[in-house]
Amino acid sequence: MRAPAGLHLAYVSRAEEAAGWDDVLGIATFSDSPLLSAAAGIPVAQVNTPILAASAHWYEIWSSGRPAESGQHGRVRFRRTPEMLFGCIALAEHDFAGRTAASGERASALHQATAEAYQEICATLEAQGYPHLLRVWNYLADINRDSDGTERYRQFNTARQHALHTCGRAVAGSVPAASALGARSESPLVVYFLAGRVAPLFVENPRQVSAYHYPSEYGTHSPVFSRAALLRQSGTLTLFISGTASIVGHQSLHLGDTAAQARETLTNIEALVGEANRRAGDAHFDLATLAYKVYVRRPADLPVIQAQLTPAIGSKAQIIYLQADICRQDLLVEIEATGICALAAAA
């Protein structure tokens, strides 16, 4: 049975057959999870991050509660309703090796792949009429490795910022919630995203410096994302919490202490939930009703992280654990979350 109209997120361990999938906007798979037989025409982002703490394959499924239409613009595959668009793009870095950037300047393969991915995303949104990027997920191989004279995450940040600026988009303030994680070596750059026709409310964490205002010690170009975005539509509020870690101000805390990093990360998420509730006025998000994706740098740390999360969020919350490198080498865990709650007037 189709869910009520509005955005929905589910982490599922098995796929149902095609009946009832007409409202699915997009899917993300992880590690070696097979593609779904039901997914014909539905964009599928294949993310190469191994699943932890599960023997089954898991899928991240975004749906809308109403029929969706598939399409493609350049290399971006998308599916849309009148209010919302889900899209994804995957580019192999080896296709850019030895090429000269469009500007004529020397640029790494990762820089060129990132720039082209974001330019195609922006072109898709303009062509389809969904001007507002809401939430973006980025996965790149070897995120912490140095190449071409600098860390690959910093190359990614430079290319993302240049591409967005070239496309006439903001690089501070009104920028989407986002995550950027390290996938397995030799993986393509994978970006998937949600966009809409209504602007969200962008939310910052009062405990942290906004990422787009980071000092230059973290790179010549700051990351372009908001700490969270709050979307109001179809009688619901959706809270997109960006990848969040043990950072206060702009500094990493609790170096080498996995349990303390997990606790600090949850404190940051709780602060964002409180700020979102305050800003929205009629929201009632809490830790127990969010859906979580938890990135673990070292698989052996999983029990330590679970021991911190379970008492805080309860045993019924949707949660998936993935092995991935975090954007800073001193961070051992990163958590993103999504909350969807009914508006009081619609209850």
CATH number of residue 221's parent domain: 3.30.1330.40
Give all strands (DSSP E) within 74-186, no chain letters.
76-80, 84-91, 132-141, 146-147, 150-151, 177-183
Q: Is 173 inside a domain boundary?
A: yes
Q: Is 41 inside a domain boundary?
A: yes
Q: Is 27 inside a domain boundary?
A: yes
Half-sphere exposure (Cβ direction) of 248: Cα atoms closer than 13 Å: 12
**Structural domain count of the chain:** 1
Residues 6+ apart with CB under 8 A from 240: 134, 135, 176, 177, 194, 200, 228, 229, 230, 231, 338
Q: Is 109 inside a domain boundary?
A: yes
Q: Is 328 inside a domain boundary?
A: yes
* Amino acid 20: pLDDT: 64
Strands 24-30 vs 44-47: parallel, antiparallel or unpaired: parallel
CA distance 345 to 272: 23
* Amino acid 311: pLDDT: 96
Which residue segment(s) compose the domain that 161 sits in? 8-346
Q: Is 214 inside a domain boundary?
A: yes
Strand, coil or helix: 171: coil
Catalytic residue, candidates 120, 204, 334, 336: 334
Q: Is 130 inside a domain boundary?
A: yes
Q: Is 1 inside a domain boundary?
A: no
- pTM for this one? 0.95
The alpha carbon of 193 is separated from its chain's Cα centroid by a whole number of angstroms, namely 7
Half-sphere exposure (Cβ direction) of 217: Cα atoms closer than 13 Å: 4
CA distance 266 to 56: 27
| Phi, psi of 301, deg, nearest 5 | -80, -5
CA distance 98 to 144: 22
Q: What is the mean pLDDT of each run of 10 residues along the chain (347 residues)?
A: 76 62 93 70 94 82 94 98 97 90 79 98 98 98 96 98 98 98 97 97 98 97 98 92 98 98 98 96 92 98 97 93 97 98 64
Q: Are 15 and 37 in contact (CB under 8 A)?
A: yes
Residue with tokens 């929205």: 280
Catalytic site residue 17? no
